[in-house]
Amino acid sequence: MSYLKLRRNAGLALMMALLLPILAACGGSTTPSTSSNAPAATEAPAAQAPAEEATEAPAEGAEAPAEGASETPAGDIGEIPPAGPQGGLSKNGDLLVASVSSCDVDGYAGIFKEIAAIDSHTVQFTLCNIDPAFEAKLAFAAFQIHPSEYIVATGGTGDLIEKPIGTGPWKFESWNRGDSIVLVRNEDYWGEKPAFERLVIRWSTEAAQRLLELQSGNVDGIDNVGTEDIDVVKNDPNLQLLERPALSTFYLGLVNTSGPLQDEKVRQALAMAIDKQRIVDNFYPAGSSVANYFTPCTLDHGCSGEPWYEFNPEAARELLAEAGYPDGFDIDLSYRDVVRGYLPQPSQVAQDIQAQLKDNLNINVNINVMESGAFIDAANAGKLEGMFMLGWGADYPEVTNFLDYHFGASSVSFGTPYEDIVENLRKGASLATFEERDPFYVAANNAIREHVPMIPIAHGGSAVAFAGDVENANTSPLGNERFELMTPGARDTFVWMQNAEPTGFYCADESDGESFRICQRVSESLLSNEVGGTKPVPGLATECTPSEDLLVWTCKLRENVKFHDGSAFDANDVVMSYWNVWDASSPYHVGRTGDFTYFEALWGSFMNAK
Amino acid sequence: MTTSSPTLEAVAVRPPEALWRKTVRTFFRQRSAVIGLSIVVLLALVAIFAPLIAPYDPTRVLIGVEDVKRRDPPCIHILGCDSEKPQHILGIDGNVRDVFSRLIYGTRISFTIGFITVAIALIVGSILGSIAGYIGGWTDNIIMRLLDVLLAFPSLILSIAIVSVLGPSLINAMLAIAIVSIPAYARVIRATVLSAKQEEYVHAARTLGLDSGRILFRHILPNAITPLIVQATLGIGAAILETAALSFLGLGAQPPTAEWGSMLSAERNQLFTAPHLVFFPGLAIMLNVLGFNLLGDGLRDALDPRLRNY
């Protein structure tokens, strides 16, 4: 017996010896976040020194040419690439100028005519048409400024996407794929430096896990508190809840090149067959509302025109029968299982839409859950079939941000663009006053209602939560939480947990809020938005003033600003950053996908587009 | 009976019958095996009579039909729940459907998955294993090395890969699990065939001039049934568990199908706010797998003469 016992114990010991390293490895993923939290801050310096050396090493290397560049603004960007058929980049002495030969040049429908460095700290934008949202767009994260030398050196490679260099309060340290992103304080930041040293970004698609991590003190703040968890956070004295105003729209996209959806009557029938009130009542938190237009009504022109169809399943059935589908049909519904402010419970909402369409129209919906990045890329490229669930959170508070991006000439998310919507949006965006613009937005919204490229369902309110000892906690309707203004108790590290992993950090070629939030910590745009609000305020430009005819905007740039690589920020960096995205023939016009969807959607079109 | 001293006549008359009787007796002597059998029989009855037991259609959304809220906790009238409220003994799920009805119908899906998956793996595995074992040589080498490649991958990872290629659906999940289960059956049958083909009755059959197919299927395979029954019973439990895992990952049953793994997955975020939505599907999976595993263990003990305790 004792021999048997001995064997059993030896077996157990062997199992433990095998299991322990595995357990340790599994726990490894959570260890860094825990250790990076509260007390670890005082222990950090030893481990941190090599990391700082590692990040500063290339910066010193890059500093030499940049120092010279601060005197002569052209910097070390080598030879100017040859201009394309519509225009290109040129030099005026040491100053860069990007321009198209004419606003009417064949095939060009963009807003920009010229972006020129007037002196080392002045940039002038000359426009083809008036753009009432010009300042709001300048503040947007997709139009950030990078060092011109870095664009030239990294254009076409992954460094601009994976190791961004900007002027922001945080320097990029590392991206541990699948786990976390680490940013360190920019000691040379031109504004108020962050009170803590390190900002760690983690993610989880699970609302329960995010809350658990916050409750257990592993993270200092979480995004999108689960609908059912809002009361839990409110009642927990160790946590604080900040509600984020609803400036977003959840919609059901209908691809007009796909099967029965090619028929407008089918799309209209779907629009009448979904009980949106039921979805909002059951799956959205307080502060949310049914969407009767694509744009929230708080924005000018958002609710111009006829409101959406009433829920009427009988009329929907008749319309579907008229279209030749009295017995329904089979269709795909794609979505990503990621919680967003506009869609707090993706899987439940998908199943409710499935149940409603089955009950009301006998349509069999096949649910297709996709990986987040692949889904966004497919949606932007118009590669999804059937229906898809997606939403939109405001990037800047203007109707063009909602309508032009989705229904403009360059948007193929819903299949082939609708000419009448495109035309009305183009005219509306080129006029200055509310009275002049409104008739075009009335027409555009009515055309959207008629063609039903999508069904607007809800304007979702959402909430973020922070540990109780985080001071100056803030949130923003644009999803731009300013961690640099917060103080996480006495800790030197702030850990934020969001819904999903960012896709890349050259945000000119991104469209995902999870990426924008990080980009806005590292890089900056010419203008910024007020904390917790949407109003444009000075950023890298201290002011941007228009000419009388609103066609020329002159931006005075902030002086003594340095990029993270030590190079000086000047007007040429602004021209280079804009030109690289604007000119499709630029050798550096390369991003993660190469679509640069925001530029085309918001500024009309690329120069030298193929 | 075993206490009486057997006579020569008794031995000559009783063997075939006594073997099964002993097996049954050994099986029923094991408490865990009886528990396993009871669970499986109970769940089988639930699966067969699901439409009679379930009070609601498992996919029916009760918004506007009854005065219930999403994720309502269980309401059982005899336990004090207000009799004016509709009775939902396991509560309401996130899409306002009756959890009890979904759980009952989920039993059907689980049984279907278990039996079909094991049947596919059993048939293909038996054919491959018996051919490999009987023919031997290069044929054996090629078949078994190919199956070794399948065995080299963790089964769940391989299933995920197969479903990713075929597309997520319950049928593809079953196929994937069947494919990854083939090697286990093939190895069992091959080992039995290898030992059986050395038996004298096989030599006798061969001497009598019977063809290989007849020898294999009429004489060898019936003698390999015992280990297959055990393997298949244990395999059903494993298949149910793996399908639940695939459905949890969104690769198996697709909404609105009431499948336990996908029910767990849909409500995984409500572990603290509505634990009943996670607890009951989890319990159902556990009971089902436990039942088949206990039954399989019991069968093995009863059928394996080396383990038989007289």
Quick one: pLDDT at residue A317? 96
A140-181 pLDDT, tens digit per residue, is: 999 999 999 999 998 767 788 999 999 999 999 999 999 999
Does residue A415 carry a pLDDT above 50? yes
Highest mean pLDDT among A244-253, A262-271, A366-375, B170-179: A262-271
ipTM of this model?
Answer: 0.78
B25-39 pLDDT, tens digit per residue, is: 888 989 999 999 999
Lowest mean pLDDT among A2-6, A122-126, A362-366, B249-253: A2-6
Does residue A365 carry a pLDDT above 80? yes
Which residue among A208, A347, A369 places its CB closest to the CB of B271?
A208
Does residue A29 carry a pLDDT above 70? no
**Interface mutation target, options B56, B59, B61, B62, chain A, most CBs of A under 10 Å:** B61
pLDDT grade for A601, boundaries at 50, 70 and 90: confident
Q: Supply the mean pLDDT for chain A.
A: 86
pLDDT grade for A429, boundaries at 50, 70 and 90: confident
Name every chain B residue with its beta carbon within 8 A of the beta carbon of A228: 71, 269-270, 273-274
Calpha distance B44→B240 (Å, rounded): 14
A2-11 pLDDT, tens digit per residue, is: 444 444 444 4
Distance of alpha carbon A349 from the chain centroid: 22
A102-149 pLDDT, tens digit per residue, is: 999 988 989 999 999 999 999 999 999 998 889 999 999 999 999 999
Calpha distance A186→A193 (Å, rounded): 7
Quick one: pLDDT at residue A62? 38
Quick one: pLDDT at residue A31? 33
With CB atoms and an 8 Å threshold, state whether A208 touches B256.
Answer: no
Would you call B117 helix, strand, or coil by DSSP?
helix
CA distances (Å), B13 to each of A273, B5, B16, B17, in order? 75, 15, 8, 9
CA distances (Å), A565 to each of A186, B28, B238, in order? 11, 77, 56
With CB atoms and an 8 Å threshold, state whether B95 touches A366.
Answer: no
Residue B125 CB neighbour total at 10 angstroms: 27
With CB atoms and an 8 Å threshold, state whether B273 touches A359.
Answer: no
In the A/B pair of chains, how many CB contacts fall below 8 A?
A: 54
Q: What's the rounded mean pLDDT across residues B211-235?
A: 86
Q: Which residues pair with A455 in a beta bridge?
A: A252
Q: Which of residues 114-173 of B touch A (CB under 8 A)?
A: 168
Percent of chain A past pLDDT 70, that is, above it, reads 87
With CB atoms and an 8 Å threshold, state whether B270 touches A228.
Answer: yes
Q: What's the rounded mean pLDDT across residues A509-527?
A: 94
Name every chain A residue with its beta carbon within 8 A of the beta carbon of B71: 228
Quick one: pLDDT at residue A394? 86
* Cβ(A150)–Cβ(A164) below 8 Å: no
pTM over 0.80: no
Quick one: pLDDT at residue A156? 66
**Interface mutation target, options A352, A385, A389, chain B, most CBs of B under 10 Å:** A352
Does residue B8 carry a pLDDT above 60? no
Q: Is B11 on the interface with A (CB under 8 A)?
A: no
Quick one: pLDDT at residue B9? 54
Q: What's the rounded mean pLDDT across residues A260-270?
A: 96
Phi, psi at residue A196, to the nearest 5°?
-125, 165
pLDDT grade for A76, boundaries at 50, 70 and 90: low
Q: What's the rounded mean pLDDT across residues A202-216?
A: 91
pLDDT grade for B11, boundaries at 50, 70 and 90: low
Name every chain B residue with its beta carbon within 8 A of the beta carbon of A208: 268-272
Which residue among B63, B268, B273 places its CB closest to the CB of A282?
B63
Calpha distance B175→B165 (Å, rounded): 12
Look up residue A261 and give its DSSP letter: G
Calpha distance A380→A450 (Å, rounded): 22
Cα of B201 to nearest chain A Cα, Å:
41
